[in-house]
Amino acid sequence: RATAPATAATCEADGDWLRLTFATPVRAPAPGQTVALFTGDRLLGGGTLARVVE
């Protein structure tokens, strides 16, 4: 979310998909939300949440 603080996560390639695992729980993630991947202030990439697994 644009107003939420950045959240640490690990990113793992899974075929044509990326699997994100958040370091701490994220409030109400939902399919269709945009994800931006940064290391420091460098943008690595982004995408759209396809599904959420609890």
Phi, psi angle pair for 11, to nearest 5°: -125, 130
CA 1 to chain centre: 10
Tokens coding 19: 């699997």
The model carries a pTM of: 0.73
Q: What is the pLDDT of residues 22-45, one digit of tens each?
A: 999 888 889 999 999 999 999 999
What is the percent of the chain where pLDDT is above 70? 96
Q: Residues near 38 by Cβ (< 8 Å), separated by ≥ 6?
A: 6, 44
Q: What is the largest CA-CA distance in the chain?
A: 31
Tokens coding 7: 């959240």
